Amino acid sequence: MEQWLWPSGGAWLLVAARALLQLLRADLRLGRPLLAALALLAALDWLCQRLLPPLAALALLAAAGWISLSCLARSPLLPVATRTVLITGCDSGFGKETAKKLDAMGFTVLATVLDLESPGALELRACCSPHLKLLQMDMTKPADISRALEFTKAHTSSTGLWGLVNNAGLNNVVADAELSPVAMFRTCMEVNFFGTLQLTKGLLPLLRRSRGRIVTLGSPAGDMPFPCLGAYGTSKAAMLMLMDTFSSELVPWGVKVSVIQPGCFKTGSLNSVNCWERSKQLLLANLPQELLHAYGEDYIEHLHRQFLQSLSLAVPDLSPVVDAIVEALLATQPQHRYYPGRGVGLMYFIHYYLPQSLRRRFLQAFFINPCVPRALRPGKPGPTPTQDEAQESDPNPGPPSTVSQ
């Protein structure tokens, strides 16, 4: 028995030694994840010493240490050299900050903006080097995307295109899926999915030639059913599946695909309280009377207040997301998913491992907890009002209009 155990123990010692050397060469970020991993390994060591034979304990501890610390180790970064990256949605938020960061690192940055005279575009012109090029592009207009493709090909003829950062995104409604106009679902899909699809497909010949990178800004709302984000979440879910497909199909070409799933950060769209007020008023103005009776105007007002309250907790420092984008572009072995932001890890743990009722309650406590619709409150009329009731609530009834932005 001893002759059989010793070679196994010796092999594990060799594995542990090699793993230790690799981790010593790796770039480990000192922070809560590393401290938590070390604490868990210490607890595992304590248990192994009391429950397992010495060699088995060593084998288990070496394997657990290698797996956990390898996940925390940063992959070595490639040199910037003369790499060119296209970033969409640089008017504000992650796109603007990433463009500034990559320009400072020495990249040639092609930054698309919705408006060349927007404050974000003017800021990029003022603070970045001449290597940064601005281009107007609306993700809902195929002609704009085609023009961006030609612009990119012309500016990368000598250097090639190393990376595409799909940052441009849109959320134009916060309401139950039943209350959200179909036109707003379509608008979210046009920007978050179809525009991203057309641009990415158009740039794949350049990215295959350079064996480059595709980095896309996703959202946890594409993985889990956040209350009142049906239009946005479904478009992000479609985009995530698209990126997973690209990730699999482009392996033979050497193109690596990463998705950033950030927590709640203060980006340009989230900072505009007036924009969300207009969106709420637009929703109320075009809501069919039957739905307005069933849910009540106070229900939508409550959603709006809860949403604005959740925005007040957003993190103003965008650097964790920007750093994740940089790592996805330059790491020799980039991760398939990045989860920057406070509480994102806990959110996904709850989503994957706890019962559905607890998952729903967590998302309601974390984001929006809707009140009871008017028709379901005690002493209120049923969900389908009579014609007389509808006329009393709307003295000038008419066909509801659908608004698309």
Active site residues: 232
β-strand partners of 163 = 85, 213
Q: Do residues 282 and 403 make contact, with C-beta atoms less than 8 angstroms apart?
A: yes
CA nearest neighbour of 262 among 231, 223, 217: 217
CA nearest neighbour of 132 among 156, 101, 111: 111
Greatest CA separation found in the chain? 93
Give dist(CA 183, CA 112) in Å, integer: 25
Q: Do residues 201 and 181 make contact, with C-beta atoms less than 8 angstroms apart?
A: no
CA nearest neighbour of 37 among 74, 13, 66, 76: 66
Q: Do residues 108 and 86 make contact, with C-beta atoms less than 8 angstroms apart?
A: no
Q: Is 106 left (phi over 0), alpha (psi -120 to 50) or beta?
A: left
> Angle of helix 119-127 relative to helix 93-105, nearest 10 degrees?
10
The single-letter code of the amino acid at 214 is: I
C-alpha 242 chain-centroid distance: 14
Give dist(CA 37, CA 72) in Å, integer: 9
E strand spans, 101-252: 108-113, 133-136, 163-166, 213-217
